[in-house]
């Protein structure tokens, strides 16, 4: 299982893909999966001009 620091590092590396084109947006969230089957939802807030990691949670995927 990944620790909080690892989840944040992965999310930060994916962040540029999800940054909204609209500069007025101040919140964003996205999901990602780490093989074999660990899915996480992460949230960010825009503070001034910087996106700041807020939280993560493990997502249960129904099979």
**pLDDT single digits (tens) 21-35:** 999 999 999 999 999
When divided into structural domains, the chain yields a total of 1
pTM: predicted TM-score of the whole model, two decimal places: 0.90
CA contacts within 13 A on the Cβ side of 25: 10
Q: What share of the chain is helix, strand, coil (3-state, %, to 5)?
A: 25, 45, 30
Retrieve residue 25's tokens.
């947006």
pLDDT given for residue 43 in this prediction: 98
Per-residue model confidence (pLDDT) at position 1: 77
- Give the domain extent around 27: 4-59
Query: What pLDDT, on the 0 to 100 scale, is given for residue 13?
Result: 98
In contact, 42 and 11? CB cutoff 8 Å: yes
Dist CA 30 CA 42 (whole Å): 6
Enumerate residue ranges in the chain where pLDDT < 70.
Answer: 63
């Amino acid at each position: 299982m990944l620790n909080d620091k690892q989840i944040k590092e992965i999310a930060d590396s994916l962040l540029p893909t999800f940054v909204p084109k609209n500069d007025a947006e101040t919140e964003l969230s996205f999901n990602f999966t780490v093989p074999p089957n660990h899915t996480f939802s992460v949230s960010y807030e825009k503070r001034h001009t910087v996106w700041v990691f807020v939280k993560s949670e493990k997502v249960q995927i129904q099979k």
